[in-house]
Structures are given as structure tokens and as C-alpha cells.
Structure 1
Amino acid sequence: MTTRAIAAAALALLLTSCGLVDDPPGTDTAPTAQPSPRTGVDQEQRPRLPFVRQGRMSIEGGNDVTFELTITKLEHNGEYLMLEVTHDYLEDLPGTVTGRNPPVRLVDPLTGEVLRFLRDAANNDEPYGTHFVPGDPHMPTHEGLPTTLRRYLPAPTRDAEYLTLTGAGIGLIPGIPLTHVDEFTPAPEPNAHDYIDPQTFAQEPELPDRIWYPDNPPPPGLDTSGDRHTMESFVDGPTASTTRSGDQETIALHTDEMFAFDSSEPTAEAARTIRACAQTLRANVGPHVEEITVVGHTDGRGSAAYNQTLSHERARAARALLEEELGTEFTFTTQGRGSTEPLAAEGGPDDEQARARNRRVEFTYQVPPDADTQNGLASARRHVADPAHFFDDPQPVTTLIHNDVDLHVYPMVRDGAYLFQMVGFQNSTLSPLQADLDTDASVIPGSPAQHAEGTLGGFRLHNPDTGLVRYVIRIRTGDDTYEDFADRINELATGEQYLALAVFPAPALDVTEMTLHAGAFGQVEVPIR
């Protein structure tokens, strides 16, 4: 048995976040494609798979190799999705794939729904789909021999026609068409055990042109609610910031613009701000939603009792102004939470800015998941374009340099309601090194900490015309758990480029470029594709 023959955890570790399969030559087992249930358009008129991308795969010992990912199928049977991919390692494998590569995700770019792979609790919680030994994450991997795998995901909650794949070191693949089928294409008859020993992974000296592995599809009726995640966006403006997660939106008005120090009496500016907020609520609030929650917050100065009273009085004052604008359209509830829920950490070098950030009045309500809202407060406008098309051979538009690392910056891709920013890290020295992603010098004083830490989370977009700042999307994976929708960069081997991705809420449709703040690498104007 050789390391080349095995590279054991290779595909399984990567495709524990992904997986897939081509039809074998000479077969005709594909089910009949159905018209799209949303538009009725014949799917034969849409872009056709396969889609191909190349990237770098991290290998043990700091090594890595170039591999090619080919998406061959994305089928929807009404309950689940079935994704097929083919991996082809284009270089010799010097060790085991580490699983440090960016996780693979399928995204509905219109709603922000993120789908993850379904897992089989009866088989060591391994993903449903292609396997070698049930319950074992290890899969044989062979240089020069394409390996095809299959994974299953929950179906999107709406009738999506295109999804976007990210991760695995290949950046993004947008515009993947869903084929609606009655039944999934049957998996080919497996032959892996005829050539590879499942106990030792020793393989026959002569392998066929293609190895097929067993398939373990999910049974009908699985609860897949925990395998759908939501993207949380954060847009910051001069008078308000807006956070949106799934169908819940929260507008935070900066109270320094609305109230004098230690006062709950609204200023003249407060009336103008509330009028814009009323426009937002009329445009954004979903149908059949009648209640809006108004919550006041203070900074940490003063006693807990005083801050509780002041925050509640400011919430009631904001509510009264809003009711003057909206009349009886909505029912409001008000709360005061004092200084118990700060957004920014106080007491640091940016203490004044952090305290100003924490003094706010919030409005929380539900919005339709695919709302395209253009009125009201600038930070609360949601801009939804069509899903992006697949494109070949992306090319960088500029390169930034910091500490012997070149950062190749690619055009931003507008995909539905989001901007996907792909960058490539390249080591210009003769020795492996770590990319310096330090963001301290570029963080806006008083920024919420959760939007300026980790991976490429310190990246942000700025539109000078509006003053709005767009932060990296966070994926809500549980009640109180999140992860940045931005890739983590491992050790960089010399000379090679490593693709990484950061995702942001999209600006207005007429915006054709944005300023990218790329942490220690500085800032640059980037066109929007």
C-alpha cells in the first residue's frame, strides 16, 4: 500500500463538506428532466453541466496539490438534492489530504439559504452518499484516475432553479442548474472492492478506467431542518445599521443622532430618521406581520437601574414618533435592556466609538425571504439580482502585496442578493509561510467584534457615495452559533496560488464597483462582474 494509492481521508474529509458521479459509458439511465416548477421553462434551454474548476488541495506536512473539480449533476426529486462531482488530482499525492480546505457549501443566492450535506446517524454520522466502507470516512484516492462521488442535501425551501457552490479551494461556481426529476439517476454498479482491499486499502496493480464506489442514499422522510442554515448580513450607515438573518430584520438607529445626552426627548433629527424608518417598515415588513418590537439600549456608563429606565424611555419615544407616521398599520411592543447587550467592546482604545455604537434603538420584524426592498433607510435596502451565470477562467484585476505575499484580487461577482469576492494568496518566497491576515490596522473604531475577527472576516466593502459599509456575511448554524462566510488560509507553499472567498450583502444594482478593505493588504477599487 502506498500513500499515493490511498491519500486516505482525502475526498471524504473534503466532501464531508461535499461529494458526487458521471454515468458510465454506454448507459442511458438518466430520468426525464421536468420543466421548472417556478417558471415552466424547459430545462434543456438552460446551461448544461459539467462545470469545471481547478484549485489547491491541502496535504499533510504542508504540501498541497492541484486538483480539478467537475460538477456533473445536481438533481432535485422534490425532497432532497443529489450532487455529483468528479475529483481529478493533477499531481502526485505526497501525503494525506488534511481536511483543512474551506468547507463546501451550496447556496441559494436569492434567499441566502445555505444547504449542508445530510448525515447518517446509523453509520458513524458519515454523510449520505458515496462510501468505501460504511461508517469509515476514508476513501482511496488515485492520481490520474478521476474519482466520482455523490452527496445528498435537503431541497431548498423555495423552487430554486440555480444554486452556487463555494469552498474546497476553488472559490465559487455560480449558476449550477437544478434538474427536477421523479427519481435520482441510479448510481453505477460499484466495482471498487474488486480492485481495492477494504481492510488494507491495497490495490491491484492495474486499475480500470473508472472506479465506482457504493452509494448510500438517504431514506424518505428525514428531518432536514437542521441542515438548512441562514446567511446573516450586516450593513452599517451613518444613521443606522441593519442586520438581516433569514426572515428576521433588525434596524438599529444610532441614538446620538436622535437624543441629547442623558435625554429621552427626541431631537429634530430624530423625526427625519423615523420618517425614513417608517418608509422602510412599509416596504420591508412581510405580509400578515403586525407586530414590531422596539428595544432601547445604552452604553455601560451609569448604574444598571438608570440605564434600564433611559433605554426604555427612548424606546417608547421612538415608538411614539413611528406611530405618528404609520398610524394603526402595526402593533408595537417596547422594551428597555440598558447596557446588557453591547454590540462593541467598551474600554479599549476605541472606547468612545464603541459606546456610541452601543447607544441605539432597535426595530425587529419579519420580512419575506426573497424581498427586494429599495425604499427607506439606505442600510435596510435589499438588492436582489438574478443568479449569476457560470464563467470560465476567472482573471484577477489587480494584485496587492504585504509581507512577501501577493493578494490577487478578482472581480466581485453579483449573485442574487450577494457579492462574492474571490482572492488568491500567493507566496513569493522560496519557503512556506503563513499569510498575515491581521486586521487591527483596518478595523473601523467601534465596529462590532463579531464582524471583524477571524478568517477573512476583517474584509469589508465601502461605498463612498452612500457611506455604507458592508461586512462579511455570517452563517447562522444554530441558535447562538455562527461562522464567517469567508475562507481560512493555511500555510502557503512557495509559488502556488490559493483561492479564498468572502461573501457580502449586495449594493444597489447600478453600483459597478466597490472599495475592498483587505485587512493588512490595504484597500483597492474592485469592479463588480
Structure 2
Amino acid sequence: MSQRALGVTSAVLALSMALSSCGLIRDLTSEEGEEGSPTAETVEEVSAEDVELPFVRTGRMFVEGGNDVAVEMTIDALEHNGEYLMLDISRNILEFITGEELKYAGAPLRLVDPVSGEVLEPITSEEHGEPYGTYFIEGSDLDPIHETLPQPIRRYFPAPSEDVEFLTLTGATAGHVPGIPVSYVDEFTPLPEPDVHDYIDPETWVIIRDLPEDEIVYPESPPEPGLETDGFVMSMESFVDSPTASTTRAGDEEVIALHADNMFEFDESDPTDEAVDTIQEAAQSMRENLGEGTEITVIGHTDGKGADDYNQGLSQERAEAVRDLLEEELGADFTLTTEGRGSDEPVAEEGGDDDEEARARNRRVEFQYEVPMSDTDSEEGESGLDAAKRHVGPPAPYFEELDPFTTVTHEDLDLNVYPMVRDGAYLFQMVGFQNSTLSDLEADLEGDEASLPGSPQQYTEGTMGGFRLEEPGNGLIRYVIRIRDGEGEYEDFADEIFTLSPGEEYLALSVFPAPGPEVEEMTLYAGAFGEIPGVPLQ
């Protein structure tokens, strides 16, 4: 039995596997497996009692310093004990990994409540910084590779804020796996007796006997009761834009931004007739979305031109003028306050080629308020701002892999575009990147088409940040969701693309806010790949 890779592992493979948050240690004794070929099936709605685990997904795993490989992931259980969630999965690497200094590169494992927008990450230990659950050596991120031998992996997550029947899993080569049933239990199902150290010596990392044919079991460390888990709960922030207004939502926070150029003359604070109509629509949206007594803060913003004192005064005057009009519409049912923030909080970067559009974006008046997390089924109104309408459906059921809707090409890279899946309040869009050359290829997804002039910079950054959706008929633009953690830090809810090997398809996920239930297709603007009309919603 070879000890080469095991002998050098502790020196070079201090890695972080997104699926298991573990490192990789090579096992050269396993037999080469055949790559799976899942069959696409039509998605059908099912009830909760119809759903049985396991669910199986196959994808490709980016491995920096080695060859990328096919991986099969099986979801075996998702249990809720009243305090934590426990996820049991099994990872099976279907091909041999070559190379020594290896590093996994890909999207992290997450559980998502697609109705509320909560995003849950594995709970890690304050003692050693590694996730609670299965391990090879406690407190270490090293973990043996078992090509063609399924490896059970257990992870613990915070419980969602609301009791839920289904959650969605993303990342870790699985892409988008909706409709995972949550089992409510008094106690978590115990793991079998661990036996991994009967096969691999934890002191030397040497294989000491032939590995089993079916599975190998690791020890685990469950979280103790009463842990503070707020830091592992994040929220999805959505951004929907129109020529007159945009709406941003993250958790229970919502902001409607009215574009000031449609409401005020240059350097003026008296609203135009058009502004009155827009504020009436905004008031109708807030009546539909909010309960009585909600506190609404009206905030004025300017662009970066002019003196700070002047901008501060103008932003305050505009906020007060809009507040007066909003108060006439809403009456005494809401509490209204005002703030002027001048040019301190730009949302688009000024001074570039799109300076005029960026400055126009920054000139705005915002309505900021909180919406209870449980208030997700607000009525669909005929009036109100299109950008502020809330569209929340049920969680999507589990489905097998879909067939591509179309394929487009940019230079030497093919993009397979799959139907979008409506899951709760969001659209989950899978695309497949495929290298059509005979050598490794770096994906170049940027280009003049990657963003609209004056777009908010935080929604156009990242590998797939240039992706956006346009709703037919009304021109609403829906940007890639961002994930916000408890400290206010953000990242795109879109997979990063790395070096692509020839021929193989690499699936990547991006997430968008969902349109109304009557919308059956969207136009996808896929960065350098350009405009792709008619992408169906599943």
C-alpha cells in the first residue's frame, strides 16, 4: 500500500473542503470508479409526505494543484432537535485526484430557507475553529480522500427562525438541491461506531489495513446545548430596479429608493408632479407590505458634486418634502422620520466612464423600514411600485438534474443555460461552463455587457456579478442576490469559476429575487455571453 501521499499530507494539504470543511488526504489504495451520468427528469410538485431521502447529486469539484474530479453527494438526513439542525451527507469522489499540493476551490455548503431568505452555515467550534460534526483528528482541517469509497459527513447548523418543512441546500458541488424535508426529533440519530482509525493510523496517516468496500465512519463532536449561533445565520439581500425606483431587501429590512431625477428639478427640493404620482405608488406598496405602526425613515441622498454642507442641506430638504407627501397618503397609521445624508453613502462609483449615470443613481430618496420575517405572504396589489412588489411562493420540490435550455458561446467557452427554478421568494439559475479547447482555460466573464451604466457596484462585482435578469413587459431588472452576515459583510450568492479543464461541464449557481407567479420566462444577461431571451421558469 502506498504511503507517499499520506506521508506528505500534513505538510501540504491543510485545506478547506467546502462540503465538509475538511482538508484532503490522499488514499491511493482505492479502486478507480466510473463517473455517474444522472438522468434528467421533469420536475413535478409533490407533498411533504411524498418526500423520502436520500437525494443524490453529481457534479465536478475544482481542485487547485490537481485534476478536477467528478463527485457524487448523497443527502441522507436533515434533523431538527429544537435547537440545532443536523445534516448527514455522504461524499463519494468518483475519479482519482492527481497532484500533491491540493486545494479545494468552490462554493461552501449552506442551508437556505427560500421563503424567509435566511442562510445557515455550519456551526464551528470556538476552541479550534473547525465545524462541529465528523472529523479525522479533532480540531484539524485534514481529512483523508477516499476515491470511490463513500465517506459519511455530519454537520450542525443553527435552527431557522421559523419552523419549516423544507430547506434548500447549495454549494459543495451540489449546486441547487431544493425540497429537503426537515425531520423534527427529540434526539439526533446517533452515528455508527467510528472505525476510520482501524484503517488509517491517526499518528502517521498510514493505511494499516485494506479499506472497506461500502463506507468508512468517522468520530464526531456534536455542539453542546446553548451555543450562541447568530454568527452562523445570514440573510439574502435582493435588489430589483426600475427607471423610477428600486427596492432592496435583506432579512427583515427593506429599502425603497426613488430616483431623485424623476422627482426634483436640478438643485430643487420641491417635488414635481411626477414625484407626487411616484410617492402615491410607494405609499400603496407600503400599505400592502407593512403593518400599522411601522416606523418609516425617509432618507435623502445627493451625488458627490458640490460642498458637503450644501449637499447635506439639500438631502434633508428633499427628505422632508417627500415625508410630507407620504404622510398625506399614509395618514396616522405609520411613524415617519427624516434624515439627510448628503453624499456620504453612494451606491454607484462616480468618476468612471459611466459617471453621469452613477451620479444619477446616487441622487435618491429612500424609505427604510422593517418587515417581520413571518410577514412573507403580503397581498399582490394592482397598484404600487412594480419594483417593490413581493413575490413569495412555496419551497420548490426536489428534482433530478434538468436539461439545458440553450447553449451560447463566448470565445472558447460554452455556456449551457438551464431553466430557472422558482424556489420560495427566489429564482435559482444553474449554468454550465464548458471549455471547448484542448488545454486548461481561465474563464473570462467580464466585458462591456457585464453591467449597466450606473449600476450599484456591489451588485456587479464578482465572477458572475454581471449576470442579471430582465422581466418581459415592464423592464424590471433583477440582480444577483447578495448574502449579508451578522457583521454587515457581503458576498454574491453566485459561484466563483476557476480554471476549466477541457471538455468537462462545470455547473455554477446564481440566485435572483423571484418575479410574480404569472411570469413564465425571463431574459438573462450573462455578462460577456450577452443577452439570452426566453429562459423558462420551472
Q: Which residue of 2 aligns with 1:109?
A: 114
- Cα separation, 2, equivalents of 1:230 and 1:479: 11
Q: Which residue of 2 aligns with 1:27?
A: none
By how many angstroms is 1:304 displaced?
1.4
Equivalences for 1:187-202 in 2 at 5 Å?
187-202=191-206
- Cα separation, 2, equivalents of 1:4 and 1:497: 30
SS at match of 1:401: strand
Distance 1:429 1:42, change over 3 A: closer
Q: Which residue of 1 aligns with 2:83?
A: 79
Q: Which residue of 1 aligns with 2:489?
A: 481
Q: Please, which runs of 5 or more residues in structure 1 have no aligned partner?
A: 20-40
By how many angstroms is 1:230 displaced?
0.5
Contact 1:6 1:142 (8 Å CA) reproduced: no
Deviates more, 1:468-477 or 1:98-107: 98-107
Q: Which residue of 2 aligns with 1:31?
A: none
Q: Please, which runs of 5 or more residues in structure 2 have no aligned partner?
A: 24-45
Equivalences for 1:8-407 in 2 at 5 Å?
13-17=17-21, 45-95=49-99, 98-122=103-127, 124-209=128-213, 210-285=215-290, 287=291, 289-369=293-373, 370-373=375-378, 374-375=380-381, 376-407=384-415
Q: Which residue of 1 aligns with 2:416?
A: 408
By how many angstroms is 1:89 displaced?
1.2
Distance 1:7 1:512, change over 3 A: farther
Distance 1:5 1:400, change over 3 A: farther
Deviation sequence 1:254-286 (CA, Å, 0-9, x none): 11111111111111111111110111111112x
Distance 1:5 1:103, change over 3 A: farther
By how many angstroms is 1:243 displaced?
0.6
Contact 2:64 2:104 (8 Å CA) reproduced: no
- Cα separation, 1, equivalents of 2:348 and 2:276: 26
Residue of 439, 460, 463 corresponding to 2:468: 460
Distance 1:472 1:6, change over 3 A: farther
- Cα separation, 1, equivalents of 2:292 and 2:164: 24
Contact 2:21 2:141 (8 Å CA) reproduced: no
Q: Which residue of 2 aligns with 1:528?
A: 537
Contact 1:192 1:213 (8 Å CA) reproduced: yes
Contact 1:18 1:104 (8 Å CA) reproduced: no
Q: Which residue of 1 aligns with 2:499?
A: 491
- Cα separation, 2, equivalents of 1:60 and 1:420: 27
Contact 1:4 1:143 (8 Å CA) reproduced: no
- Cα separation, 2, equivalents of 1:47 and 1:95: 40
Amino acid at match of 1:234: F
By how many angstroms is 1:181 displaced?
0.7
Contact 1:431 1:494 (8 Å CA) reproduced: yes
Q: Which residue of 1 aligns with 2:42?
A: none
TM normalised by structure 2 equals: 0.90
TM normalised by structure 1 equals: 0.92
Distance 1:465 1:305, change over 3 A: same
Amino acid at match of 2:425: A
Deviation sequence 1:358-384 (CA, Å, 0-9, x none): 111000011122423423211111101
Contact 2:233 2:486 (8 Å CA) reproduced: no
- Cα separation, 2, equivalents of 1:495 and 1:258: 53
Deviation sequence 1:421-457 (CA, Å, 0-9, x none): 0001111101001111114433111001111011211
- Cα separation, 2, equivalents of 1:3 and 1:318: 67
By how many angstroms is 1:305 displaced?
1.5
Contact 1:6 1:201 (8 Å CA) reproduced: no
SS at match of 2:285: helix
- Cα separation, 2, equivalents of 1:363 and 1:121: 39
- Cα separation, 2, equivalents of 1:386 and 1:290: 26
Amino acid at match of 1:269: E
Contact 1:437 1:519 (8 Å CA) reproduced: yes
- Cα separation, 2, equivalents of 1:389 and 1:255: 42
- Cα separation, 1, equivalents of 2:47 and 2:83: 21
Distance 1:18 1:178, change over 3 A: farther
- Cα separation, 1, equivalents of 2:194 and 2:22: 20
SS at match of 1:390: coil
SS at match of 1:175: strand
Q: Does 1:509 align with 2:511?
A: no
- Cα separation, 2, equivalents of 1:46 and 1:180: 16
Q: Which residue of 2 aligns with 1:24?
A: none
- Cα separation, 2, equivalents of 1:466 and 1:5: 61
Distance 1:372 1:227, change over 3 A: same
Deviation sequence 1:86-125 (CA, Å, 0-9, x none): 1111111214651212111110000000000011122x11
Distance 1:281 1:6, change over 3 A: farther
Contact 1:46 1:177 (8 Å CA) reproduced: no
- Cα separation, 2, equivalents of 1:161 and 1:11: 34
Amino acid at match of 1:527: P
By how many angstroms is 1:17 displaced?
4.7
Distance 1:42 1:215, change over 3 A: farther
Amino acid at match of 1:421: Q
- Cα separation, 2, equivalents of 1:15 and 1:444: 35
By how many angstroms is 1:404 displaced?
0.5
Contact 2:420 2:430 (8 Å CA) reproduced: yes
SS at match of 2:208: coil
By how many angstroms is 1:208 displaced?
1.9
- Cα separation, 2, equivalents of 1:95 and 1:83: 31
By how many angstroms is 1:503 displaced?
0.3
SS at match of 2:332: coil
Equivalences for 1:431-442 in 2 at 5 Å?
431-442=439-450
Deviation sequence 1:339-369 (CA, Å, 0-9, x none): 1111111121111111111111000011122
By how many angstroms is 1:11 displaced?
8.9
Residue of 2, 5, 23 corresponding to 1:3: 5
Residue of 447, 456, 481 corresponding to 1:448: 456
Distance 1:18 1:54, change over 3 A: farther
Deviation sequence 1:126-181 (CA, Å, 0-9, x none): 10000011111111121121111100001111011111111112311111110111
Amino acid at match of 1:174: P
SS at match of 1:261: coil
By how many angstroms is 1:14 displaced?
2.4
Deviation sequence 1:15-71 (CA, Å, 0-9, x none): 35599xxxxxxxxxxxxxxxxxxxxx996x231000001011122425111010000
SS at match of 1:52: strand
SS at match of 1:71: strand
Deviates more, 1:312-321 or 1:88-97: 88-97
Amino acid at match of 1:397: F
By how many angstroms is 1:331 displaced?
1.4
Count of paired positions = 505
| Identity over aligned pairs, percent | 59
Alpha carbon RMSD of aligned pairs, Å?
2.0
- Cα separation, 2, equivalents of 1:288 and 1:222: 35
